Amino acid sequence: MSLVPQFIGVLQLLVGVLSLLFLKPALKNPTKRGSRSFQLFTVSVAIYAFCSGTDLFVADRTVSLWVYNLELLGGVLMGVAWLLLAIEVTERIRITRRLIAGLAGYTILSQLLVWTNPIHHLVLDSTTSINSVNNLVLAREIGFWVLLGITYLLVLVGTALLAVEAIQTTGIRRKQMSILSLALIPTFVGSFILMVFNQIVQYDSTVFGYVGTAILFALALFNSRFLDIEPVARRIAIDAMEDATVTLDTQNRVIDCNRSARELFDIQDEYYGMAATDFFAVIPSKTRLRLSDATNKETDITVAVEGEQRHFTVSVSPIGENGLSGSVLVFHETTRQIRRERQLEKKNEQLDQFADIVSHDLRNPLSVARGYFDMSRDNIDDDHAEKIDRNLGRMEEMIEDLLTMSRAGMTVKELDAVTLRTLATESWESAQTSTAELDLQMSENITFNADRERLMHVFENIFRNTVDHNDSPLTIRVGVLETMENGVKDVTGFFIEDDGDGIPANEREAVFDHGYSTSDNGTGFGLSIVKQIVDAHGWEVSLTEAVTGGVRFEFYVDNFTTETRAD
């Protein structure tokens, strides 16, 4: 007994209803990538299936042609929606207004072409009729084949994008893309059979091919959680990250991870569904418990990797409301930072030990020598006494500079609020530079954070160095460095400059080196101490020529307080 056309029509209408059922998960997750194009695709399939089924209940040729025109609309929209879906979920092509306009233009043009067919007959020939089972006997023309070819091309491009993404990604992302890349094949095959064997096939096999597509969609939606959990292992944003990234579901099973995570924990590609305890086997059990604690947003851990202790800060971010869909763990490696901190601590200890040596083991014997010299000075020839006194003084100055320099390079840990004007004034008084004049070119409220005692050494050394290497009269100016942004002046640092003789351009790079001095009486440590103190603060210092021809030191400071707006 042969199947009657109406029975086939009912089946095709049911396929349309089946397609609309997939709207629910898409509407439930409207913000997920691919949701809108998936909605458009399911609606377009429903239009196609409803029109194909309705056509079997229509015996009038004119009405049947109207239904067929709407069926072609569903077919064109299927191709457009599929390409948009592939672009959205793979992010391999940017969705631009021009692209949307082109696809919309193609859809509108195709409808204009089919609805005006009675005028030009570019889509269907006038001989198109209805057969005994209410099917249109189509006499297709060049316009139809052009529309079909473009729609097929859209479908193939979208499928290719999904297939490439499936090859190049991993985990649940690979599973999702693999299923989606295969999903439209049954529908495509059904359409191809209808086009090639249209003389043999009485009914539209495209609609029934969609049943296979629907099964694959169900797998993608409910087994691979497409549109349910936001894919984390994005090809560009995540997999290229240096930080190890792992996604867990609500049962603490791994559903995704990037290349860095697989290398760190020595895991192969077959990790999907692996228990977190197995994936993180190299992490001690107590530490793993901290990672699974939702209240710990950030945890510091140490992992032994190939016999090497590596340190990480792990941030835990919930997926979905209150973490109902799982969590993402990002392992940011801090090994270099911790090693550097330890090296700096060791360096500080060594510098502190050196400071003790300078302070006691060198200074004490020198004080004894100074005492004996003072007692014996009257019995020593004046020329000899002057040379001894000068060299003892030079040794005292060198020891003082060595002591200052050893402490200058220590890492700055405790910072105080320092007012630039006050610091410059106190340093000027301490430096005892009575032969020069200080010109302060800033307001009272220029404040920043620094180690006050060490920063005073910077000002004192520059003040003394300037006075020692220039003749009177001499003026030293201290002011602020400013930048202008949106009409507002922001302070970025300060400067110290003079109107003295200056330093030749070819020697400016060497002034901060140990031992550099333009005077035979200098220790060569003064400006080296300045550079070390600036570096310890994490600032920058440069030397250039002042407008007056003297020397200008510029200090760029990145920790000014909110009170540092220039008046």
423 and 400 belong to one structural domain: no
Q: Considering the domain boundaries, does residue 233 fall inside one?
A: no
pLDDT, tens digit, for every residue of 168-226? 777 677 788 888 888 888 888 888 887 777 656 667 778 788 888 888 877 777 666 66
Q: 232: pLDDT confidence band, cut at 50, 70 and 90?
A: very low
498 and 541 belong to one structural domain: yes
**How do 475-485 and 437-441 pair as beta strands?**
parallel
362 and 485 belong to one structural domain: no
pLDDT at 334 > cutoff 70: yes
259 and 357 belong to one structural domain: no
Please give the C-alpha separations between residue 93 and each of 88, 104, 158, 161, in angstroms, as whole numbers: 8, 17, 11, 9
Q: What is the mean pLDDT of the chain?
A: 80
Helix axes 205-218, 171-183, angle to 10 degrees: 170
* Residue-number span of the structural domain to which 80 is assigned: 5-223
300 and 366 belong to one structural domain: no
The contacts found for 467-470 with CB under 8 angstroms, 24 or more apart, are: 467/431, 467/433, 467/435, 467/436, 468/519, 468/522, 469/500, 469/501, 469/518, 469/519, 470/436, 470/498, 470/500, 470/501, 470/550
Q: Considering the domain boundaries, does residue 232 fall inside one?
A: no
Q: Considering the domain boundaries, does residue 352 fall inside one?
A: yes
Are the C-beta atoms of residues 290 and 296 closer than 8 Å to each other?
yes
pTM score, whole prediction: 0.47
pLDDT, tens digit, for every residue of 3-15? 577 788 788 888 8
Q: Which of 333, 356, 379 is the last residue of a domain?
A: 333
DSSP state of 71: H
Residue whose C-alpha is closest to residue 258's, from 331, 354, 307: 331
158 and 27 belong to one structural domain: yes
422 and 510 belong to one structural domain: yes
Q: Considering the domain boundaries, does residue 562 fall inside one?
A: no
367 and 492 belong to one structural domain: no
123 and 219 belong to one structural domain: yes
218 and 77 belong to one structural domain: yes
pLDDT at 1: 37
Please state the domain count of the chain: 4
213 and 260 belong to one structural domain: no
Q: Considering the domain boundaries, does residue 230 fall inside one?
A: no
Please give the C-alpha separations between residue 422 and each of 240, 418, 565, in angstroms, as whole numbers: 51, 8, 17
161 and 54 belong to one structural domain: yes
pLDDT, tens digit, for every residue of 446-488? 898 888 888 888 898 899 888 888 888 899 999 999 887 776 7
pLDDT, tens digit, for every residue of 277-325? 888 888 887 777 777 665 567 788 888 877 788 888 888 888 766 556 6
Please give the C-alpha separations between residue 387 and each of 158, 371, 382, 521, 532, in angstroms, as whole numbers: 91, 16, 9, 13, 32
Q: What is the domain-level CATH number for residue 381?
A: 1.10.287
Number of alpha helices (DSSP H) and beta strands (DSSP E) in the chain: 19, 14
**Separation of alpha carbons 66 and 72, rounded Å:** 10
pLDDT at 564 > cutoff 50: no
Q: What is the domain-level CATH number for residue 141?
A: 1.20.1070.10
